[in-house]
Amino acid sequence: MQQFVNTTLTGIGQGAIYAAFALALVLIWRSTRVVNFAQGAMAMFTTYLALAVIERGAPYWVALLVALAGGLVLGAGVERLVVRRVAGNEMAAVIVTLGLFVAFQAVASILFGATFKSFPAPVGLQGFTIGSTTVAFTPFTVFILVSVGVVLAGLVALFRFTNVGLRMRATAFSPEVSRLLGVPVGRMLTLGWALAALVGSLAGLLIAGGSLVYPAYMDTVIVYGFVAAVLGGLDSPGGAVVGGLAIGLGLSYVTGYLGSELVPLAALAALVAVLLVRPQGLFARAAARRV
């Protein structure tokens, strides 16, 4: 029972991070129909930025803000300078993101070194104690849940209640019609990439917290994020969040009961199962849209 509770709690924390990462993928997929393979590398890069700030003696919170702002700028820059040049050719755009993935890792190795570095956590990593037992629920897990929750609420508010959000949604549904109605479609796409990269940066920081970073540390997270996004349906932000939590929980149970060496295999099995049984994802309204 205690093990079940602990694996569940661990899974929820990890799942929240996968959810954020999957959400970043979904935001970009919805607006530009590009699967951004560079998402993890971009998050790795901003995490290194945060680490550089921390190494200069700044507090964690300043580094957090630097990483998020860096994500915004990086996302906007990648869309403006690279992805837009191959707009209209989705395959080319996907290949370009793969190239960026390699390039960001190479640049990070040059700038920050290809060695393992420890990344601090803003709060304790010691599990809370209930009665006499310590559970796998730490202040850092609380930090993960709160920060992901805040970002999610912010995005929902942006998309639901502001004009910019409305125009971004319209652009995602039909850029041609939006353009005809006077929506600055290009700016909406840039903003979409910027916001996605911000969410991705947060995921990168949370994965790194209290752990080690190296240029490839996000690689496995990319895979789990993709599985989560596909599970939820690439078109559905809500689905990405549920998919992320489901993957986090599922992989945590695999780790806890079967062995951590089976985790990548389990992720692959989940991916194949979803693609075979329900390729549009659990939550996508793809069938309705196809009409």
Partner 1 sequence: MTEPRPDPVPPPGAVRTAAPLFAVDGVEVRFGGLVALDDVSLAVAPGSVHGVIGPNGAGKTTLFNVCCGFVRPDAGTLSWHGEPVRDLRPHKLAGTGIARTLQGVGLFRGLTVTENVMIGADRHRRAGFGSALLALRRSDRDERALRDRALAALDELGAAHYADRLPGSLPYPVQKRVALARALVAEPEMLLLDEPASGLGEDEMAELGALIRTLTARMAVVLVEHHMDLVMSVCDRITVLDFGKVVADGPPDEVRDDPAVVDAYLGEEAVQ
Q: Which residue ranges make up the site for partner 1 (CB under 8 A)?
A: 157-158, 161-164, 166-167, 169-170, 173-174, 176-185, 187, 191, 285, 288-289, 291
Comparing CB distances to partner 1, the nearer of 80 and 187 is: 187
Shortest spacing between CB 192 and partner 1, in angstroms: 12
3-class DSSP state for residue 122? coil
Shortest spacing between CB 195 and partner 1, in angstroms: 10
Shortest spacing between CB 80 and partner 1, in angstroms: 15
- CA end-to-end distance (rounded Å), the chain: 48
Comparing CB distances to partner 1, the nearer of 149 and 184 is: 184
Comparing CB distances to partner 1, the nearer of 73 and 166 is: 166
Comparing CB distances to partner 1, the nearer of 4 and 173 is: 173
CA–CA separation, 31 and 9 (whole Å): 33
Q: Is the dihedral of CA 157, 158, 160, 163 positive or negative?
A: positive
Comparing CB distances to partner 1, the nearer of 104 and 167 is: 167
CA–CA separation, 10 and 263 (whole Å): 14
- Angle at which helix 237-253 crosses helix 263-277, to 10 degrees, equals 140
CA–CA separation, 129 and 261 (whole Å): 29
Shortest spacing between CB 190 and partner 1, in angstroms: 11
Structural element, H or E, at residue 262: none
Shortest spacing between CB 170 and partner 1, in angstroms: 5
Comparing CB distances to partner 1, the nearer of 178 and 201 is: 178
Question: Is residue 7 a contact partner of residue 58, using CB atoms and an 8 Å limit?
Answer: no
Shortest spacing between CB 183 and partner 1, in angstroms: 6
CA–CA separation, 208 and 113 (whole Å): 16
CA–CA separation, 126 and 133 (whole Å): 12
Tokens representing 283 are: 């939550």
